[in-house]
Every structure is written in structure tokens, then in C-alpha cells.
Amino acid sequence: MSDPRTWELRPRCLVVVPGLTFEEFAEGPWASVRGIHGSANFWLGDAILAAEREFGERASQLYDRDLRPERIDQLRWVAEAIPPARRREDCSWTMHRLVAGLFGRKGGGRYAGAYLDRKAEYQDDLLARAAAEGWDSERMREAIAALETEARNYRGNSGPEPPATPESVAAIALPAPGSEAGIADPEAIREAIEAVRRLGAEVPVRLADAFSVGDRIAAALGLPSFDRPPTADLDVALSLVPPGWRRRIEEEQDGDGVTVKWTVEARRGNRKLVIGIARDLGCALAEAALAAHLSDLPAPGET
């Protein structure tokens, strides 16, 4: 992998002989180090699986202090969930880790069996879309949350059958934040925020309740009624974030990889809103959007 005449990888260091051209440096040490960095977690996960398959409990003797038990568990889990034949060179290990958690590490009864049966197909399509469109981790989380919301809501209603192929993943639109909306009085927005919070406490969200709360959101923002309620459709929720506001989404999972909390932070200048809704990203996004609209309203007496 190295060329001792011009550069060499040694334990804890890279030695580069002065005088390389830019092209030689890019194709030699830089490409090699970047390749190692991008593959290291995959290699470790595969090594853990191989060691435990061949040596059983003795494999634990290989794990030094730098590999904490939770780290070993995560590396093993991702390597098992996304085997080598399904990995993409144009997606990072982090992207593979995120799709490995689709529908939770154990799945369970929260999602429709029709979706769980095609979990691998959905994971592959998410990775392909991420590579084609240059997603970052946040956009991947949004796409995963949209698909999981669809799978949860399918289980609890008599809606249409899920698609025969996972085309819904490729059809997920993730618009840039913000859309123009007519604003009603601030009290109506506050009441809508409270309704969203109550809805978020009822996870899994029932579609009938989501439509009812969606009507309150539309009225508060001076919009026509939604065809799909924001708390059940992430595309709609994202479109409600007013122009100029940047969003940040954080996910908290339990030991089984099941999401227990979404936190949405909306920022504009020095203003910051932090909203946490347990297990439901749609509610967190809708609340953040409403709070941002409320913050944008002029203070009493201002024009």
C-alpha cells in the first residue's frame, strides 16, 4: 500500500519524502490514508464477527481498552446488518450505521410486517439515494424517520397497501426549509403548539388525531387544510419552517437502537428554539416550525 521510496505508513505516523508532485501526493499517501479511514470501521466490524465465529468467547481477549463494550457491540451490529455485498463505497460507515437502525434493531410490533419483510430493500434504496444526491447525516435521518412514520401509520389504519417495490423511498422529497404562510394571531399559534405537544405524547400517533391537529396548525398559520397532516408527513412538516431558519435534528436511541426521543433545534440569528418530542419526529418538526413562526411575529406595538 505504501511506497518506501516516497512515503510510508508506520505505526502512529505517516512519513512523506519531500518533493512529491500534487498528483503523486493525491494518488499516493492521501488516497491510501483516506481509504483506510473510510474502511476502518467496516474492517473492525468484520474482524469482530470473524473472531467470535472462529474463537467464541476467546475473542474477547483481543479487545483492548480502546474498544469499549458498547463500541464493539455497535461495530458488530452494523457489520451484521449490512453485510459486505450490500455496502457502498460512496457512502460512509455512518450512513451505513443509520440505515442499519431502520425500524429499530429488533423491529418489533410497532411497524407493519409488509415493511419489515423488505427492510433490506429499503436500506439499499436509502443508501443509493444518499449517494446519488449527496445527503448528509441529517437528511438521512429525515428520510429514515419519514419511512418509519409511514410504516407505523400503515399498521394502525386501513390505508393502501405499501408499494410492491420500495419506490416510496426514492420518492421521498426533502425540501429546503421554509415556505410562505399567512400568520394568524399569536394565541392561535400557541394553542396549536400545545395541541402538537399533546399529540406527540400519544405515540404512536393516530392518523385521525393527526388530521385534527393538522387543521389547527393550518388555521393558526392561515393555510388551507392539509391533504396530509404535518405530524404524519415530514415533507409537509419541513415545508412549514419559515424562511431564514436553520434546523438541527438529533436522535436519541435506547440500547436496542429504538428511537426514544427526537430533538429539533431551530435557529435564526441569535434566537434558538429547542423542542423535544419523544419518538415522533413529525411532532417535533411541527412544533419547531410553529415556534419559529411565533418568534417571527412582531412584538405588540410594532408594525
Most distant CA pair in the chain, distance: 75
**Mean pLDDT, 10 residues at a time, the chain of 303 residues:** 78 87 88 84 92 90 81 91 93 93 70 83 92 89 84 55 46 38 71 87 74 88 83 81 83 72 80 64 86 80 54
What residues contact 217, with CB distance under 8 A and at least 6 apart?
A: 192, 195, 196, 223, 226, 229, 230, 240, 286, 290
**CB of 172 closer than 8 Å to CB of 143:** yes
Same-domain check for residues 223 and 165: no
Same-domain check for residues 286 and 191: yes
Same-domain check for residues 9 and 104: no
Which residue, of 116, 144, 170, is where some domain finishes?
A: 170
**CB of 2 closer than 8 Å to CB of 8:** yes
Crossing angle between the packed helical segments 207-221 and 186-200, to the nearest 10 degrees: 160
Has residue 179 been placed in a domain? no
Q: Are strands 259-268 and 246-253 parallel, antiparallel or unpaired?
A: antiparallel
In angstroms, what is the C-alpha Rg of the chain? 23
CA angle 126, 128, 129 (to 5 degrees): 65
Which residue, of 41, 58, 81, is where some domain finishes?
A: 81
Q: What is the pTM of this model?
A: 0.56
Has residue 292 been placed in a domain? yes
Same-domain check for residues 137 and 196: no
Same-domain check for residues 244 and 227: yes
Same-domain check for residues 203 and 160: no
Same-domain check for residues 77 and 6: yes
Which residue, of 170, 205, 233, is where some domain finishes?
A: 170
Has residue 198 been placed in a domain? yes
Range of the domain at 70: 1-81
Distance between CA 219 and CA 303 in Å, rounded? 22
Same-domain check for residues 51 and 74: yes
What is the reported pLDDT for 277? 66
Same-domain check for residues 58 and 92: no
Same-domain check for residues 191 and 280: yes
Same-domain check for residues 192 and 144: no
What is the reported pLDDT for 157? 41
What is the reported pLDDT for 109? 57
What is the reported pLDDT for 184? 56
Q: Give residue for cell 405588540.
A: 300
What total of structural domains would you count in the chain? 3
Same-domain check for residues 223 and 289: yes
Has residue 226 been placed in a domain? yes
Has residue 2 been placed in a domain? yes
**Is residue 46 classed as helix, strand or coil in its secondary structure?**
helix
